[in-house]
Structure 1
Amino acid sequence: MDVKAIREQFPILQQEVNGSPLVYLDSAATSQKPLQVIEAVNDYYRRYNSNVHRGVHTLGSMATDEYEGAREKVRAFINAPSSQQIIFNRGTTVGINTVASSYGDAHLQEGDEIVLTEKEHHSNLIPWQQAAKRNGAHLRYVELEADGTVTAENVRKAVSEKTKIVAVSHVSNVLGTVDPIKDIAAIAHEHGAIIVVDGAQSVPHMTVDVQDLDVDFYAFSGHKMGGPTGIGVLYGRKSLLENMEPVEFGGEMIDFVGLYDSTWKETPWKFEGGTPIIAGAIGLGAAIDFLKEIGLDDIAAHEKELGQYALKQLSAVDGLEVYGPKERTGIMTFNVQDVHPHDVATVLDAEGIAVRAGHHCAQPLMKWLDVASTARASFYLYNSTEDIDALAEGLIRVKEYFGDVFA
């Protein structure tokens, strides 16, 4: 990959922060946007801004074609059988909440079990907590290996005939671990359960084939893959979606409305009440075009190389602990001995290096790691080994600075 050429397509990366060239290492929180995505959104608002589906005028037809064209791009990107299985929403959180509220409330009963892991993002934990409370179900957790990985063997121990839903992340937003989704799906289906996957950290970084994985629901966010904020996708198995009730009601999602009862459009539109996120979907379509031009396999290989290089460079910094396995995606979570992660991030920011600090919306995992919070560097296609060198050098200065402060 020609990282230099790729970086030139991201206007925000051409600036200085606090007098230093920007080193952006927070793509797990949100990725930066290439010029063609920015231009696609701008083009919609400048040239054919209109609502979709309802109008027959020229601008409305153009907007509808682009919006539904983006849905088809998403379908092809994750190899879904039909674009009717692609639901646009605000993001991964909304997608998982939709499944928990619609499918969960219709199928969970007293004594049923929902299987999760302790490393889940809050967006794939709290909706299931609430669904369990509403329906009298119980939560069970898959035992993690010492390095934070999930094995099919441990999943099999947690899943039983009482299991109705297995909800797991494809890639951990803290440890960078990749779960064996295809194996987990097979185990869930053997027991008559469905599998719901949080794909927020996987779809932007690797090839995802929902048919090959044999998943029932798969949710992800556009803003983590070069697309705009506020647009996300829920993929669902068509037979399940067709029998699910919508969770938001109003315009756009209806078929017939009477004074005392109404009927809904077919999927996916029955789940897209109100004016949809038109510009966001169009921008997401442009982001998919951009990622396909570069190649997901090349992106995944590049990030794996960055992860291994970062593990080597950061492990050489005295007093720094890196969490997670040796084999990982481009996510590096760590702590500097005797320095709070927020202080680490603040010192690095003074040198133009952007990292995350906190519990990363994964408080149960922080407890499992026996820490209150961590710092996190996350890499994407526009990062280079020079960015990691800058991070390692910055962390050395963090240690020097706080060593002097407390000397």
Structure 2
Amino acid sequence: MNELQSLKELLAKPAAAREVRDAGRQRVQRTVQGHGPVIRRRRAPWVAGSLGLTAAAAAVTVAITTLGTSAPHEPNSPPSTRQVVLPADTVLLAAASSVRRQPTTGAYYRIATTLTSDRMQVPGKRYWIRQSMAKEVWIAPKGQSWVIFQELGWAPATGSDRAAWKADGSPASWRIKPQDDASPRLAKKCAVAKKLCKDEILTSKPGPRQVSRGTPGVRSLGEKAPAGVVGSLGNHEITMDQVRRLPADKDGLRAEIKRRLPGAGKMLDTITYEAGTGLILELPVSPAVMGAAYEMLAATPGVRSAGKVTDSLGRKGNAVTMGTDGSKTIKTRVIIDSATGLPLGTQTYQVKDGSILDSETVTKIGWTNEQPNVS
């Protein structure tokens, strides 16, 4: 089976909520190693532009969200019919204009995000908990990079869950039995081979900070990319020098993506959307190239407005999604700050009720003269 056929099947398959949630269990490892599909945007690995990272021992100060802090903001559902929804091209062209005012140089390109996944109901209780992780990527102009990663622990998923958690005595950990979050087939196997299915303790305690210095891993487990590689675009790894040479116009960018993915055919619009959002969220591009990427998306058939959306930090922005995506039950939207044009992150959600399955919230992105704390 070729890659194009694999992508077609991936986009045509309506993923179930349990499928997404269960896949979240492997997400930390995939994020750390930089390989495999990224569930949060339902992207195929050959169009992902993610900056992977390799786990290594170290410690750094990262803003930590635990059960003792204020409750996370509940993201809103997709817009109601009464909401005034701006067209996707209006949102994207405005973002293109705003983002070009961002700093064009700096000592590092920084991408700081918080990822959430693994929403799980506490056995025997009426509230849900969710795991979160923090990731920082720092890339120097010559291509050297550092990645800082930390698991932030488990916490009530929403404000209403937090109230139920307090009524439960505000526990700091939970014992989960495999059959509590397993398919019937796995539960049956656990009943037969109990030694292989031990109880798991989920805790609100943050894990150790992990720092990786060197080229971010964008290949399969255990492989390191050549020096200078800072991510991928289309079906190819991309170096810092190649990032600098990316066209700063929408037609040139689309042509470059098409060149990297020959034979895309009817899938070109979907691939252009995936590659374009990956470029905006994950590559150390200039404000001019990021603006061109927004303009390219504005001109891409199938890109739709998702209305005003609130992220997990309570920030409001305009969201866009790919209307021709194969799944009609689960969608992923990119949220954009109306004032700056910078991305606020992504959310994968249930179309029916707007419930968030997982998200990646961008807290800092762009060129900066600040220094990474990698000691």
The normalised TM-score by structure 2 is: 0.25
Structure with more of its chain in strand, by fraction:
2
Structure with more of its chain in helix, by fraction:
1
Bigger radius of gyration:
1
Greater relative contact order (Cα 8 A, min sep 6): structure 1 or 2? 2
The normalised TM-score by structure 1 is: 0.24
